[in-house]
Structure 1
């Protein structure tokens, strides 16, 4: 296989299917996607599954599903194919072996039979040696030990420095004597390629022009540049984007809360909000905070990505998600809520029994006060069934004997009300309160607690109108009891 002549930008997202799709990895995929779409280039999805003990098909499926949910499509990949496939590393082993054999033939690599504990002992001894030896592996000069399985080790060519002009981090250089010879093919039964080698072979043969990845890969880059040069491949442009950190400025992990994309999807975050939030973790376009996808494609530039880590701020994500929820058409939100009814304790059949017009009207009451779709579904649960339990503090404060007497009076008035619209109901209850010398809230809050189980809900009179006379009277009767 030969690499294509890159006429346009070619980028890749290359996750390892060894676990969940981390939000940091999602941001890497997003930046690659924006580069490809903004420059009318090609986005490639490659699955790096050489770690067969930890890689799972379930994780592969989760990666593909997560990217599809975010609408980060790809032009070439394991499911859609392409001219430089296959796009899973397990299916590319012949290519790695061929490249390694070429390096052996050209004297740029050599067989190695060193055991890990032997190299560890030599490394320890080298710490006190002056000057410290550059090459720890004796196989470089003495040859492999007979009878042992052979790995293949790359011979780091002596040169002054290895460097590159990073599109994000600026000029980076490493002294060549800091790079020891390193394994490129392991000695296991599969002759498994190490990450640095497989990535170089794949990126070169796939014609990748820009390698956009996390800053934690900076230490790998000098070795990879040496491999590109040894194999005679053009060196791509590198852009090492800053890491995503938690509020304590440590690398974002489970101890900071949810870090898997699936968790945010399950909680009802919108893909547009996730895209909007993640893109701003390291990139800015003036003071603009909110973007459409089209605006991002037009505005995004790698050169405007900062070198400092991004701090994951859940409150900021919640704010953005709430904003995107409010910007979503009500009928669309009604459809988006469908997967969340069960988790919110609502029988989906009770939702289906309602008309679409009714459901859209219900969504309108909650859209301004919901941070996520799951939160919205939970807040709406009382519309479909009486609350299983009430807030004890609310009940103690607003369902006292005095309040129950007001509720009884209210129920009688509601039963006889000629008009059950929100405006008419508010006027009716207001007149009841005035006749008793009471405030409207003295009636409204007991009604709210009785019907919703809490003191927090949308304006109560539109809720009454939406629930309808029969449901309201029945729920109040359950609170008031016989008599």
Structure 2
């Protein structure tokens, strides 16, 4: 078993991040596996080294150790995506040799106008306009293209660890999708697939907001010759108004909690209790959380935290 926690260093670690990190850590420790910390920093404009350093400090403070990562080393490094661009480019070259990739000159405005505004959780479906362009038509284009992967007319299915059987017909789910943007940045779908495959990740646990990405990643894995991991998507932490805790929503951070004198054990115990991993609202030793861990206990509904989480978490020290 090889598991991974793969955060983006675009802000300080908040409770939503800790929830996922805790579950990844519990999964690896309960299964006697290896936990990999991978820093997903391909968003160069928003990713900051100071957030990477803070994230590793916060994980240590929480008691969530890792077996491999930027600070721990390991045989599958480097563990920062910005240091793995050569692997992504090699993957694109392989896909090109399989005649699966083509340049796309469409603007975002055109794609939106064609596909319409998607509902929450849905993707804009690309209509494949540039797939049929001739070489002569491509040479006449003046815009720098993105690269898209052409999807086959078949369904991708998998069984999620919590949400059960999932099936996606990619032509109507998302259409041909971008693997490298027009500005040269590698797309998330490509980078995460290459990283999971090259690092030998066998179990992927992440938030349910990424459930819709899985079909594309399974397709890419098959083309690139990787073994498909076992996927488990988990409910998100939300506030009393139903908003997801995130960096953009200014979800409460580990730094803020530390400043209030709250310990790592209190934070983990609070999340384990709110998430249904344990039944009693008390302070837990991490080893006890490992012993009691059963992913099925958390259910599939998003988890509502207290209106005043700082005071609620402090309670777990009494």
TM-score when normalising by structure 1 = 0.59
Aligned to 2:122: none
Cα distance in structure 1, aligned partners of 2:99 and 2:287: 50
Shift, 1:37, TM fit: 1.2
Task: Confirm whether residue 307 of structure 1 aligns to residue 304 of structure 2.
Answer: no
Match of 1:293 in 2: 286
Contact 1:274 1:317 in 2 (8 A): no
Deviations 1:114-137 (A, max 9, x none): 232333343359xxxxxxxx7523
Between the aligned partners of 1:284 and 1:141, the Cα distance in structure 2 is 51
Q: Deviations over 1:202-256 (max 9, x none)?
A: 0111111111111111121121122112222221111111010112222235898
Which structure 1 residue ranges, 4+ long, deviate > 4 Å from structure 2?
253-258, 314-317
Q: 2:128 aligns with which of 137, 142, 155?
A: 137
Q: Deviations over 1:11-70 (max 9, x none)?
A: 111111111212101110111011111111111111111111111111111111110111
Residue 168 of structure 1 aligns with which residue? Answer: 162
Query: Residue 315 of structure 1: CA displacement?
Result: 5.5
Separation (CA, whole Å) in 2 of partners of 1:13 and 1:46: 6
Q: Which residue of 2 aligns with 1:273?
A: 266
Task: Select the structure of larger CA radius of gyration.
Answer: 1
- 3-state SS in 2 of match to 1:280: helix
The runs of 5 or more residues in structure 1 that have no matched partner are 1-8, 126-133, 327-483
Q: Is the 8 A contact 1:244 1:281 kept in 2?
A: no
| Mapped partners of 2:64, 2:307: distance in 1 | 22
Q: Which residue of 1 aligns with 2:231?
A: 238
Q: Aligned ranges for residues 88-127 of structure 1 at < 5 Å? A: 88-124=80-116
**1:171 Cα shift?**
1.7
Q: How many residues matched? A: 305
Alignment of 1:206-285 (within 5 A): 206-252=199-245, 259-285=252-278
Query: Which structure exhibits the higher relative contact order, with contacts defined as CA atoms closer than 8 Å and separated by 6 or more residues?
Result: 2
2:238–2:303 contact (8 Å) kept in structure 1 = yes
- Is 1:214–1:241's contact at 8 Å kept on the other side of the alignment? yes
**CA shift for structure 1 position 112:** 2.2
Superposition deviation, residue 266 in structure 1: 0.9
Instruction: Select 1:32's aligned residue among 12, 21, 24.
Output: 24
Contact 2:262 2:313 in 1 (8 A): no
- The 3-state SS of whatever aligns with 2:274 is coil
> Judging changes above 3 Å, is the alpha-carbon distance between structure 1 residues 153 and 284 closer, same or farther for their aligned structure 2 residues?
same
What residue number does 1:60 align with? 52
- Contact 2:126–2:175, Cα closer than 8 Å, also in 1: yes
Instruction: For 2:309 and 2:13, locate their aligned partners in 1 and report how far apart those are by CA, in whole Å.
Output: 21
Distance in 2 separating the partners of 1:156 and 1:260: 39
146-155 or 44-53, larger mean C-alpha shift: 146-155
Distance (whole Å) between structure 2 residues aligned to residue 99 and residue 187 of structure 1:
17
Q: Which residue pairs with 1:74 in the alignment?
A: 66
Residue 14 of structure 2 is aligned to residue 17 of structure 1: no
Alpha-carbon separation, structure 2, partners of 1:11 and 1:255: 27
Whole-angstrom CA distance in 1 between matches of 2:25 and 2:310:
21
- TM-score, normalising length from structure 2? 0.88
Would you say the 8 A contact 2:103–2:130 is kept in 1?
Answer: yes
Post-superposition Cα deviations, 1:414-434, rounded to whole Å, max 9, x if no partner, equal xxxxxxxxxxxxxxxxxxxxx
Structure 2 stretches lacking a partner, 5+ long: 118-124
